[in-house]
Structure 1
Amino acid sequence: MAQENQGRMLAVERRQRIIEMLENHSSVLIADICRECGVSAVTARADLDFLEGEGRLKRTHGGAVPISEYVVPRVSERVRKNARAKQAIARRAAERVSDGEMILVGSGSTTLEFVKALRSKHDVTVVSNSCHILEYAEQYLPEVEVMSTGGMLARKYRHYYGPLVGASLADIYLDQVFLGADGFEPSFGFLAEFDQTAYAKVEFLKHARTKIILMDSSKVGAGRSFLRFAKPDDVDVVIMERDPEGMVLEACNQGEHEVQVIEALADEA
């Protein structure tokens, strides 16, 4: 009887219920709407399209997220998400850094955790376009030399971007580069949310011998539209807490270039 009553919900009632679902969760799936409102997937999609047209949500693959969730959250907010995974990734990445190295570190919550894990290192030079990383290293890593790239300042997200990023790196070549990723599609590659971020990552990859991606497993198959900054085999190492079903390892090793995929929490499986 409850299902029948839900099936007779008016469109305005269904759409209000969808908004309420989004207020209580970070996302909603079409299957959730079908179950909650007793409608078909076609009707659920139509409701989401209508609500997106009114600016009340943002459609994603298979569902929707609140407008506030679609905007990339600031690092201080993002670092709390999947914190255990990011910390494990950071520790494994820090093990790869030797005293005396010069490394290039891109902006992001996982790369910030990585820099925090460099406390025991000596005579390391960190070059970054992230104000969060630069400020943390300056305050808490006295044994680390700190260098900033050039570029325009993205005030909201506290990193530098634009042509001056590449120009400032033109004459340097470093030991390793560590980059985060906003998404990974196995058939396509590593993805960034915005063009300015993707451009900076492309430039960073040109200026280091070893190219390392730090990415938690939630980024695999990310549903929103992103821009590719590297193909699966354009990098040398991917460090994750776990590689879901070996998808990343398989995707990155389709060609002749061998990519190492390290699972930081594999021993806890």
Structure 2
Amino acid sequence: MTSDDRRRQILSLLSSQGIVHVATLSQTFGVSTVTIRTDLSELEYGGKLKRIHGGAVSVKELVVPSLPKRMRRNTRAKDAIGHAAAGLVTDGETILVGSGSTTLAFVNALNPKTNLSIITDEPGIINYVTQRMPNVTPICTGGILGCGYHYYGPLLAASLANVHVDKVFLGADGFERRLGFLAERKVTAEAKKEFMRHGNRTVILMDATKVGASRFFVPFAMPGEIDLIIMDSDPHGIVATSVRAAGGRTHVIEVCT
């Protein structure tokens, strides 16, 4: 059986079962767990499934909506978060901005600034800046374009090798007490981690609906690794409690909407 045949059968099993496990697939196909993990990684990169611990689940059940759809949700909260974050940026600065609808709202709030350079892995942000922000220089990272939503992989890291900025602005697809800040996909989480390596300060921009996200999302940072978290509100003080438990430098700002 070729790898393509095996992957088609994995997708067929996933379609009928909703979830597959590495150990079971290894026995079913008579190959090593390393081979199965490679299969799952390749299928995830192609947007066919989502990796979880020990296996994979269907993207139909768990995928985060597309960027245009997300931009239409919680717009008031995202705009408030974006404007608060924009106050941290000065004219002439170079910043790193990760993918997401809240980070796009933040970029929009930067419109009055001049001579900014924005480095991002989000094609939507690149297009937005190119079309609407003549005073801003958009800089796109390298990498593989994953399902049209952001760049990932070794080329992303290579393109940032000589980059170091003061501030990194990232979105989050979720937050849970035990797991910290979460991303929809493994490759997205890896991209966010890479961005964090290239800045003095990391700022998370996240609306209240992201607190208590699916356990299948992938962690990329714990509260103690973040400098500032800007939210519209913190439900039941969950994020602030986690920050206090972690100790260190992290601050939470709740903005009025």
- TM-score class, shorter-chain normalisation, is 0.7 to 0.9
* Equivalent of 2:207 in 192, 204, 216: 216
Aligned-partner SS, 2:85? helix
Q: Summarize the alignment of residues 81-230 of structure 1 with structure 2, pairs less than 5 Å apart.
A: 81-154=73-146, 156-230=147-221
Counterpart residue identity of residue 226, structure 1: F
Counterpart residue identity of residue 89, structure 2: V
Q: For the Cα contact (< 8 Å) 1:173–1:208, is it kept in 2?
A: yes
Aligned-partner SS, 1:254? helix
Q: Percent identity?
A: 48
Deviations 1:10-46 (A, max 9, x none): xxxxxxxxxxxxxxxxxxxxxxxxxxxxxxxxxxxxx
Give me the TM-score of the superposition, normalised by structure 1.
0.72
Deviations 1:201-258 (A, max 9, x none): 0000000111000001111111341111101110000000001122211212324412
Q: For the Cα contact (< 8 Å) 1:151–1:164, is it kept in 2?
A: yes
Aligned-partner SS, 2:73? coil
Matches of 1:237 and 1:224, distance apart in 2: 23
Matches of 1:53 and 1:224, distance apart in 2: 21
Counterpart residue identity of residue 134, structure 1: I
* Equivalent of 2:223 in 229, 232, 238: 232
User: Whose radius of gyration is greater, 1 or 2?
Assistant: 1
Change (3 A) 1:162 1:247: same
Q: For the Cα contact (< 8 Å) 1:74–1:157, is it kept in 2?
A: no
Counterpart residue identity of residue 88, structure 1: A
* Equivalent of 2:63 in 53, 65, 71: 71
Q: Post-superposition shift, 1:158? A: 2.8
Counterpart residue identity of residue 244, structure 1: P
Q: For the Cα contact (< 8 Å) 2:120–2:141, is it kept in 1?
A: yes
Q: For the Cα contact (< 8 Å) 2:223–2:246, is it kept in 1?
A: no
Matches of 2:191 and 2:88, distance apart in 1: 23
Q: For the Cα contact (< 8 Å) 1:125–1:146, is it kept in 2?
A: yes
Q: For the Cα contact (< 8 Å) 1:188–1:232, is it kept in 2?
A: no
- Please identify runs of 4+ aligned residues in structure 1 that moved more than 6 A: none
Q: For the Cα contact (< 8 Å) 1:192–1:226, is it kept in 2?
A: yes
Q: For the Cα contact (< 8 Å) 1:151–1:163, is it kept in 2?
A: yes
Q: For the Cα contact (< 8 Å) 2:63–2:184, is it kept in 1?
A: no
Matches of 1:187 and 1:70, distance apart in 2: 20
Aligned-partner SS, 2:96? strand
Matches of 1:217 and 1:264, distance apart in 2: 11
Give me the TM-score of the superposition, normalised by structure 2.
0.75
Counterpart residue identity of residue 121, structure 1: K
Change (3 A) 1:84 1:68: farther
Unaligned runs of 5+ in 1: 1-51, 56-65
Counterpart residue identity of residue 219, structure 1: K
Aligned to 1:261: 252
Unaligned runs of 5+ in 2: 1-14, 19-57
Change (3 A) 1:72 1:157: farther
Q: CA RMSD in A?
A: 1.8
Q: Post-superposition shift, 1:54? A: 6.0
Counterpart residue identity of residue 119, structure 2: V
Matches of 1:190 and 1:94, distance apart in 2: 21
Q: Post-superposition shift, 1:67? A: 7.0
